Amino acid sequence: MVAKARQPQIAAAQFKAKCLQVMDEVAKGGKPVIVTKRGKPMVKIVPVDAPDDAELFGCLADRFEIVGDIEAPALGAKLWTGLK
C-alpha cells in the first residue's frame, strides 16, 4: 500500500491573516493548501493551470472545409442589382 503525501493545511483564521502570502506560495510552488475550519477541511487553494500558448488565429484550422468561392456574392448579379 502506497501512502499519500499529506497536503499542507492552514486554519481559516490564520488563512484570513495571511491570505495573500498563502496565495503567492501556492502560485509559486504549485502545491495546493487546504483551509480548515475547526479542524474540518473546507476549501482547497490550488494554482491556476498555465494558460495555453495557442493563438486565437488558426485555432479552428483543419476543422472546416471551404467549398466553392467564398468571395463571390451570395446572390446572383441579376438579383443583386434588383435589390437596389
Dihedral sign computed on CA atoms, order 6, 7, 12, 17? positive
Residue 16: per-residue pLDDT:
96
pLDDT of residue 37: 96
Q: What is the reported pLDDT for 31?
A: 92
Rounded CA-CA distance 67/59 in Å is 19
Opening angle at CA 45, ends 42 and 49, nearest 5:
140
pTM value is 0.55
Task: Report domain extents, the chain.
Answer: 9-82
Q: How far apart are CA 36 and CA 21, in angstroms?
A: 17
- pLDDT value of position 12: 96
Q: Is 51 helix (H, G, I), strand (E, B) or coil?
A: coil
Residue ranges of the chain with per-residue pLDDT less than 50: none
**CA-to-CA distance for 62 and 79, rounded, in angstroms?**
34
Q: What is the pLDDT of residue 1?
A: 54
